[in-house]
Amino acid sequence: MTVVRFAPSPTGYLHVGNIRMALANWLHARSSNGRFILRLDDTDKERSTHEYATSIEEDLKWLGLEWDQLERQSARLDRYRETLEKLKTAGRVYACYETSEELDYKRKRQRSQGKPPIYDRSGLELDAAKLREYEAEGRKPHWRFKLDHNDIKFDDLVRGPVHFHGSNLSDPVLVRGDGTYLYMLPSAVDDVDMAVTDVIRGEDHVANTAVQIQLFEALGALPPTFAHTPLLTDISGKGLSKRLGSMTVNSMREDGVEAMALNSYLARIGTSDSIMPCISLDDLAVDFDISHTGRGTPKFDPEQLKTLNAALLHATPIEDVYARMLGLGLHRANADFWMAVRSNLERFEDVILWHKVCFDDIETVIEDVSFGKAVADLLPVEPWDETTWKKWIEKIKEKKGYKGKNLFLPLRLALSGLDHGPELKMLLPLIGRARVMQRLEGKKDGNV
């Protein structure tokens, strides 16, 4: 069975780049009846907060990306300790005592000699006397994983065949001097323990994958399948960061972006599939294939999202929004109302305005009182439907001679108070004869 995980660190709010990763994993699992794990990579106690963890869960729920299993790395420290001890016994991790200044200095020197800044493994050279000296000074070791200097190859679902050589990589630090874990080991241990089969993540992790492949082997496990996607940038090509408030899920939601508009956009941005509004995640999952992801850098375009948001609303059935309309206090909203106004919405909240236009007191505009009176006299009797408008207009043209913009704009202003909006033939039966009469007479609707 396919098992994937989305593994954010709760050190900030989710932005659209993170969501793209969550969604890719979710759709990948869903399209193969697999499982989706939400794993909070919260080993960094200083920067991880409960508030961020909660916001991650809320954002995913809002998007409909529910998880089958929730894991927290902070609850699994014993397991990492145990694994570390095994790796020590197997001679795959070794103690190092350099300070970060010393490491910086080494790297600078290597660079100035035109060499890559690869750790020189001096930790392996320390003799017993030196180790005693460091301990006497009170230095605490950090622990590095000893890479095998051989070929590391994997087939990436996005990048194709990937090849590294162990000798071109630094032995990674697994545990800091203060005993806290860096990303590398817990992630691999979790992927093994949680039986993760497919890892979909950003291409900033490709070199980590090379290291982790050796970690999986050292842990006696087979590596999962990998897919590394190019990272999403903003429209100007700048990378996204957790500190960029405007790109967070929350700010999108507050701006009136529909969850499914964001899902529709992020599921296909940067892929060979065309972006179109999808009203359900299941529809998106049907066509989802991570290998359709391209190698170019996708740019997040807020204007394209806005267009998609409107298109999605225009295609949304009443069942999906009825409860939301009631939640906004729009008690007269029904299927006819929704069908009349949905194609005029850019944001869902725009329905409030049209509900008011149809059912409440509004300021209408009567530029010519005699016009109002003349057309009011010709109003058909109820019951009204979508054909009423045409009958009324034909009578007005025939009896009063108004036509073109001398007819339609004044009518729209008189009936809705606005110079734009849904088709009047749809609005007319919703507004109803009594209210139309009042508006044409320039009266407030009062108790109609």
Q: Which stretch binds ligand GLU (CB under 6 A): 7-15, 243-251, 289-297, 391-399?
A: 7-15
Closer residue to ligand GLU, CB minimum distance, 39 or 435: 39
Q: Which stretch binds ligand GLU (CB under 6 A): 5-13, 102-110, 387-395, 416-424?
A: 5-13
Q: Which stretch binds ligand GLU (CB under 6 A): 1-9, 76-84, 250-258, 262-270?
A: 1-9
Closer residue to ligand GLU, CB minimum distance, 73 or 416: 73
Nearest to 206 by CA among 148, 138, 284, 154: 154
Q: Give the nearest distance from C-beta 73 to ligand GLU in angstroms.
A: 9
73 lies in the site for ligand GLU, by CB under 6 A: no
Among 8, 141, 421, 422, binds ligand GLU (CB under 6 A): 8
Site mask for ligand GLU (CB under 6 A), range 136-175, x = bound:
----------------------------------------
Among 3, 4, 7, 185, binds ligand GLU (CB under 6 A): 7
Bridge partners, 121 (sequence order): none
Residues between 192 and 221 with contacts to ligand GLU, criterion CB under 6 A: 201, 205
Q: Are 437 and 379 in contact (CB under 8 A)?
A: yes
25 lies in the site for ligand GLU, by CB under 6 A: no
**What are the angstrom distances between the C-alpha of 299 and each of 17, 234, 295?**
10, 5, 12
190 lies in the site for ligand GLU, by CB under 6 A: no
Q: Give the nearest distance from C-beta 8 to ligand GLU in angstroms.
A: 5
How many residues touch ligand GLU (CB under 6 A)? 7
Closer residue to ligand GLU, CB minimum distance, 41 or 71: 41
**Cα(5)–Cα(34) distance, integer angstroms:** 11
**Cα(370)–Cα(372) distance, integer angstroms:** 5
How big is the chain by its Cα radius of gyration, in Å?
31
Closer residue to ligand GLU, CB minimum distance, 142 or 201: 201
Q: Which stretch binds ligand GLU (CB under 6 A): 4-12, 57-65, 96-104, 434-442?
A: 4-12
**Cα(100)–Cα(109) distance, integer angstroms:** 14
20 lies in the site for ligand GLU, by CB under 6 A: no
Among 4, 9, 337, 436, binds ligand GLU (CB under 6 A): 9
Q: Give the nearest distance from C-beta 265 to ligand GLU in angstroms.
A: 21
298 lies in the site for ligand GLU, by CB under 6 A: no
* 74 contacts: CB under 8 Å, gap ≥ 6: 40, 42, 43, 45, 48
438 lies in the site for ligand GLU, by CB under 6 A: no
Q: Give the nearest distance from C-beta 190 to ligand GLU in angstroms.
A: 9
Residue type, 322: Y
Encoding tokens for residue 416? 């809705």
Closer residue to ligand GLU, CB minimum distance, 226 or 265: 226
229 lies in the site for ligand GLU, by CB under 6 A: no
Nearest to 40 by CA among 49, 32, 31, 27: 49
Closer residue to ligand GLU, CB minimum distance, 121 or 205: 205
Q: Are 112 and 104 in contact (CB under 8 A)?
A: no
Nearest to 68 by CA among 41, 36, 24, 30: 36
Find tokens 């949905």 and name the residue: 342
Among 41, 59, 98, 234, binds ligand GLU (CB under 6 A): 41
Q: Are 202 and 189 in contact (CB under 8 A)?
A: no
H helices, E strands: number in the chain: 19, 10
DSSP codes of every residue in 167-231: GGSPPPEEE-TTS-B-SHHHHHHHHHHTT--EEEEEGGGHHHHHHHHHHHHHTT----EEEEEPP
**Cα(427)–Cα(431) distance, integer angstroms:** 6
Q: Where along the sequence are the contacts to ligand GLU (CB under 6 A)?
A: 7-9, 41, 187, 201, 205
